[in-house]
């Protein structure tokens, strides 16, 4: 079930109606839980079983961890949770990838091996809810939080429909306390919830799908030898904007839908294309994933506590796994390693250049922001390309200053991309130190009405499209 579909509008209207007419908080939570299962089952009903397996495994593991003090037994219990969750994720997401690479290795060694095709269907959102429920078990294991006493609350935490399929990845310590008392959005919360939902849909339907996807697809699906440099850069910039509008659009919808129900979800994006450096970028892009990788992978590996070389390895390895988390493909791994390399270079530069006063100047900030955006966009080539052949073709076209290559984009698409990308970068620059809701509150009331009306008008004009969000494939 897609946020940008009429089916979801009907579903959400029913959930809202039941949520605000039923007086019992326990029944309200039960309705939300059942609704979440229906929401997920709309894609493929049998995969609800995987949600039940993860929920039951981590519920009982955490329950046992809360009573067990012997460290060896605690590690065994944690291993059970890791085996169940990562085992399911590994099979469904990486099974075919591992088999294909095994066949390639066997072929290189001179063996011919052609097994039956697995034809594994990837369950929607498995990467997100696996990391979410794992964070709960890890927090209980490391005694950072108490185990949940209510199975209903825990099941709702794992399956809460607004963020179930594509995040944000919510920590139990943020969500479970909200389940203790009845949740009803006040007037301001409901208004902001509707506004964020509208904004998220506008980002997805009007910007990502309506104004950016065509140019991006034209360039990255091109099968020729070279693309005209201007068109190659426009296609790449279109995807840089598209991936933000699509993914941030989903997160914004999720936050808005949850807020209408009285629940508060964490921010997932904070003007990432205004980042000053790559560590700053990851504090602003997919925040709930980057903090998950930091807290449950980078820091346990040693973080920056064991010298320079260990720190550099930890950065590379963390981003390697971050790339692999996004998809079972070597192009995603290269994307992750590229970002790891960026972070390594940034770390080394900070060690050797301690005079950073110039960074605080407008010129310094502008230079570093442009540099960061440039290299982040270059990395998107490997994220978007279907294979390395396409990636190298795009990379060659981006720096082919001879002006050769095919011209692909019509004038209208060029204008659309330039307007959207220019507006997006300007907005991110303006909101670098501000939250969106605070910036909106600073505007006159009539401006807010005008912006909201314009977004609704754009959604009405673009109705009929219900494309899946890009991050559904992860």
The set of catalytic residues is: 326
DSSP letter at 227 equals: B
Nearest alpha-carbon partner for 232 in 411, 412, 408: 408
Whether cis (ω within 30° of 0) applies to the bond prior to 305 is: no
Distance CA 143, CA 66 (A): 9
Instruction: Determine contact, residues 170/131, Cβ cutoff 8 Å.
Output: no
Please count the residues of the chain.
Answer: 474
Instruction: Determine contact, residues 324/337, Cβ cutoff 8 Å.
Output: no
Distance CA 155, CA 69 (A): 25
Residue with tokens 């219900």: 466
Which two structure tokens, joined as six digits, stand for 321? 């796994």
DSSP code per residue over 369-429? HHHHHHHHHHHHHHHH-SSHHHHHHHHHHHT-TT--SB----HHHHHHHHHHHHHHHHHHH
Q: What is the largest CA-CA distance in the chain?
A: 72
Instruction: Determine contact, residues 268/288, Cβ cutoff 8 Å.
Output: yes
Nearest alpha-carbon partner for 164 in 252, 18, 261, 51: 51
């Amino acid at each position: 079930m897609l946020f940008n579909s009429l089916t979801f509008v009907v579903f959400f209207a029913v959930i809202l109606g039941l949520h605000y007419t039923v007086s019992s908080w326990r029944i309200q939570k039960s309705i939300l839980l059942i609704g979440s299962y229906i929401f997920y089952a709309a894609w493929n009903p049998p995969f609800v079983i995987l949600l039940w397996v993860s929920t039951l495994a981590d519920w009982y593991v955490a329950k046992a961890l809360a009573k067990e003090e012997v460290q060896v037994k605690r590690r065994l219990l944690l291993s059970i949770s890791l085996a169940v969750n990562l085992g399911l994720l590994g099979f469904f997401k990486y099974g075919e990838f591992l088999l294909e690479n095994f066949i390639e290795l066997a072929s290189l060694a001179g063996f011919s091996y052609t097994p039956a095709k697995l034809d594994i269907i990837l369950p929607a959102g498995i990467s997100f809810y696996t990391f979410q429920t794992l964070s709960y078990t890890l927090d209980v294991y490391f005694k950072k939080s108490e185990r949940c006493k209510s199975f209903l609350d825990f099941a709702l935490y794992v399956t809460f429909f607004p963020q179930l399929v594509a995040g944000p990845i919510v920590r139990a310590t943020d969500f479970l306390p909200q389940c203790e008392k009845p949740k009803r959005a006040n007037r301001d919360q409901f208004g902001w919830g509707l506004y964020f939902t509208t904004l998220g849909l506008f980002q997805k339907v009007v910007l990502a799908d309506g104004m950016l996807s065509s140019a991006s697809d034209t360039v990255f699906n091109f099968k020729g030898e070279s693309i005209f440099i201007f068109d190659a850069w426009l296609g790449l910039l279109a995807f840089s904007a598209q991936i933000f509008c699509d993914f941030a659009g989903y997160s914004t919808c999720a936050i808005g839908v949850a807020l209408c129900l009285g629940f508060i979800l964490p921010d997932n994006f904070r003007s990432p294309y205004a980042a000053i450096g790559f560590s700053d970028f990851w504090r602003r892009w997919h925040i709930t994933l980057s903090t998950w990788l930091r807290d449950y992978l980078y820091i346990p590996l040693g973080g920056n506590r064991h010298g320079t070389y260990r720190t550099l390895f930890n950065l590379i390895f963390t981003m390697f796994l971050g790339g692999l988390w996004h998809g079972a493909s070597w192009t995603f791994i290269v994307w992750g390693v590229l970002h790891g390399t960026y972070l390594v270079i940034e770390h080394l530069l900070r060690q050797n250049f301690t005079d950073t006063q110039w960074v605080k100047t407008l010129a310094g900030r502008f230079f570093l922001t442009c540099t960061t955006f440039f290299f982040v966009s270059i990395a998107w080539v490997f994220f978007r390309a279907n294979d390395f052949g396409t990636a190298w073709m795009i990379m060659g076209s981006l720096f082919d200053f001879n002006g050769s290559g095919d011209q692909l984009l019509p004038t209208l698409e060029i204008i659309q991309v330039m307007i959207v990308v220019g507006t997006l970068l300007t907005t991110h620059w303006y909101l670098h130190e501000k939250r969106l809701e605070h910036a909106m509150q600073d505007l006159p009331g009539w401006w807010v009405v005008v912006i909201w009306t314009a977004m609704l008008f754009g959604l009405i004009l673009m109705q009929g499209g219900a494309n899946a969000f890009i991050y559904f494939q992860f």
